[in-house]
Structure 1
Amino acid sequence: MKSAAPGVSIIIPAFNEESVIRQCIYAALCQSVAPSEIIVVDNKSTDGTADLVRNMQDEYPDVPLILLRQDAEQGLIPTRNFGFNHASGEILGRIDADSMLEPDWVEHVQRAFADPEVMACTGPVLYYDMPMRRFGLQADDRMRRFVLKLAKKQYHFLFGSNMAIRRGAWDIISQDVCRDEEDQLHEDIDISVHLAEHALRIQYVPEMISGMSARRLEDSPKDYRYYVTRFERTYSAHKIHRRVLRVPMLIFMTVYYPAKLLRRVHQARTQLRVPRGGL
């Protein structure tokens, strides 16, 4: 007898995300295979984030859309942990508030975890507010495959905008993951390292696609560099010194200026576009 597919909880940490949270939740709702629950964990938002989630709960009363509040601490890591610890699914999906899942995301996550050896998985991202989106998706996918090949499949990093972890694996590492009170590290890579320390397998799933915003490009060069160099600080904090693992950092640094220019041109063209039917 074929066993039932594992239930997938989708956890969305949120802080002042009223501009994107509705589209994020809607994409999570419109899945070919329904998630067990969609959990938004509001972390001391001062805007309308929580109100928008409540409105969607009223709009979709039959959907397991849950709003939690994490007010004890400010920060992504305690908010993520709070969501993971309160989820009921066997699989804990983790996305950002600006993520927009492809309609078959849950389906591909379930397929990946049908292999009992898979303890976590991640996939490529599509930057939905950039031009040539599908080209960007292919480039992102190739970069991840390239890094995995260079690392001889011994390492793979999860991506917080598009990842899932088995409940049992989270239970093993949950007390070990770094708290990062000084906000120096990449929390998703930290999870990856702790999984590797326990020989828990991470699977790259190219069909597991999530859209995300390229709004990080709006950061100043100084802030963007600080964000990207979290790769270096995270690996150094764990005393990992393999140069190949710095490749994503170098790629992100290299594409900053051309990608920023491309985004500005795209935004300008979008604003100047005249609706059909004329003025």
Structure 2
Amino acid sequence: MTSAHALSVIVPTFNEENYIGACLEALLREEELLHEILVVDNNSTDRTVEIVERIAVSHPAVRLVREPTPGAVHARNTGFDAATGDILGRIDADTRVGEGWARTVLDYFGRTDTESVGAVTGLSNSYDSPYRSLKGWYMRRLVSKGLLGNEQRIRNLHGANMALRRTTWERVKSATSVDPGVHEDADLALCICAAGTEIAQLSQMRADVSPRRALTPPGEFSHYLRAGIRTLERHGAMTPQHRRLLRLHWFTHLGAYLAYRPYDPDRHRFTVRRLIFGGPPRTMPVSAAVA
């Protein structure tokens, strides 16, 4: 280790055989900076476990942990509790961290002027996306205007690209929800803020994520948004402005769904077949039954 801090990265996973290999490959580019990588398997029935175990043979930092209770929040909690580092990174199985991701996290928490910050989250673009360049340009514009990144304090965490101090987790763990009908990352963020601890958004903490969430049908996406309402209501944070923003988010998602529907990421082009029949939707990380 080249830092006073030890960074553990937790990766909850369920049936991610098409993504977990590339996820771990990206992390392992900074293997010398990582204390450990914990892949928490949540009852996968495909080749996810086989792939992780094969990679772990040549990379001892990779460790497989199992959590039988279904739900990303249970896998996350098990990973956080099993980790032995004092900094807990958390990404999704379809995340590919960018160059210098671990160094950015360690350097930030290693500074003497960041002691009030208990968690950090970064910025993400999409891979396998025909709109990657446009999104990257827009994100850079927002950063240059000070609307994203720049270590500004925010009240949210992006579960696909975040890290927190172990002391922060231990402080708020008992307050977090395991309700499958809430957003576990937003709930964690609101618990952290309620404890008087700051969250910073870092411009250089970059990751690429799959755009497959855009393929979620608008009806199912409505369940996801209702989970956002439940999360805010749980913390007494729901306001008319939040409701308007969530409503706008639905229309924004509808536009993204229509834009992505004809695109085949395997063939890297738009097809008539995809336009008519669509592609496989992503299962959203909340329960529609309770959302």
TM-score (ref. length: structure 2): 0.81
> Which position in structure 2 is the counterpart of 1:276?
none
> 1 CA distance for matches of 2:247 and 2:109?
31
Show the counterpart of 1:188: 185
Determine which of 204, 209, 213 is the counterpart of 2:206.
Answer: 209
Q: Any residues of structure 2 matched to 1:131-170 within 5 Å, and which? A: 131-139=130-138, 142=142, 146=147, 155-170=154-169
C-alpha distance in 1 between matches for 2:15 and 2:8: 22
Q: Separation in 2 of the partners of 1:231 and 1:148?
A: 22
Counterpart in the other structure of 1:256: 253
Residue 281 of structure 2 corresponds to which residue in structure 1?
A: none
- Deviation of 1:231 after TM superposition, in Å, equals 2.0
1:184 deviates by 1.3
Q: CA-to-partner distance for each residue in 1:193-216, whole Å, 9 max, x for gaps?
A: 111111011011011111111111
Q: Residue 153 of structure 2 contacts residue 201 of structure 2 at CA under 8 Å; is this kept in 1?
A: no
Aligned-partner SS, 2:175: coil
* Paired position in structure 2 for 1:42: 41
1:176-197 CA-to-partner distances (Å, cap 9, x unmatched) read: 10110xx211100100111111
Paired position in structure 2 for 1:70: 67
Partners of 1:99 and 1:46 in 2: how far apart? 20
- What is residue 110 of structure 1 aligned with on the other side? 106
Contact 1:9 1:39 (8 Å CA) reproduced: yes
Seen in structure 2, the aligned counterparts of structure 1 residues 198 and 132 have a Cα distance that, compared at 3 Å, is same
Give the secondary structure class of the aligned counterpart of 1:199: coil
Aligned to 1:222: 219
The 1:230–1:65 alpha-carbon spacing in structure 2 relative to 1, beyond 3 Å, is same
Offset, 1:138: 4.7
In the alignment, the residues of structure 1 paired with residue 269 and residue 187 of structure 2 have an alpha-carbon distance, to the nearest angstrom, of 39
Query: In structure 1, what is the Cα distance between the partners aligned to 2:173 and 2:139?
Result: 29
Work out the CA distance in 2 between the residues paired with 1:272 and 1:218.
14
Structure 2: gaps (5+ residues): 272-291
- CA shift for structure 1 position 69: 0.8
CA pair 101-147 structure 1, distance change in 2 beyond 3 A = closer
User: CA–CA distance in 1 between the matches of 2:198 and 2:32?
Assistant: 24
Relative to structure 1, is the Cα distance of residues 140 and 243 closer, same or farther in structure 2, using a 3 angstrom cutoff?
farther
2:284 aligns with: none
Structure 1 alignment gaps of length 5 or more: 274-279
**Closer, same or farther in 2 for the Cα pair 1:224/1:201, shift >3 Å?**
same
Retained in 2: the 8 A contact 1:158–1:189? yes
Structure with more of its chain in strand, by fraction: 2
Q: Distance in 1 between matches of 2:95 and 2:45?
A: 21
Which residue does 2:17 correspond to in 1?
18
Quote the residue 1:241 is aligned against.
238
Rounded to whole Å, the distance in 1 between the matches of 2:137 and 2:200 is 18
Identity %: 30
Tell me the TM-score normalised to structure 1 length: 0.85
Q: Considering only aligned residues, what root-mean-square deviation do their CA atoms show, in Å?
A: 2.7
In structure 2, the CA distance between the partners of 1:262 and 1:216, relative to structure 1 (3 Å rule), is same
- Partner SS for 2:37: strand
1:55 to 2:29 alignment = no
Paired AA for residue 162 in structure 1: N
Deviation at 1:4, TM superposition (A): 3.6
- Residue aligning to 1:199: 196
Distance 1:29 1:251 in 2: 38
Tell me how far apart the structure 2 counterparts of residues 265 and 113 of structure 1 sit (CA, whole Å): 43
SS at match of 1:209: strand
Quick check: 1:89 aligned with 2:85?
Answer: yes
Pairing 1:270–2:261 present: no
The size of the alignment, in residue pairs, is 263
Question: 2 CA distance for matches of 1:272 and 1:251?
Answer: 27
Rounded Cα–Cα distance in structure 2 between residues aligned with 1:116 and 1:155: 16
1:98 maps to 94
Whole-angstrom distance in 1 between the partners of 2:212 and 2:177: 26
Contact persistence 2:263–2:270 (CA under 8 A): no
Q: Which moved more, 1:124-133 or 1:42-51?
A: 124-133
**C-alpha distance in structure 2 between counterparts of 1:206 and 1:243, whole Å:** 30
AA at the equivalent of 1:69: R
Asked if 2 retains the 8 angstrom alpha-carbon contact of 1:147 and 1:244, the reply is no
Q: Report which stretch shifted further, 140-149 or 188-197.
A: 140-149
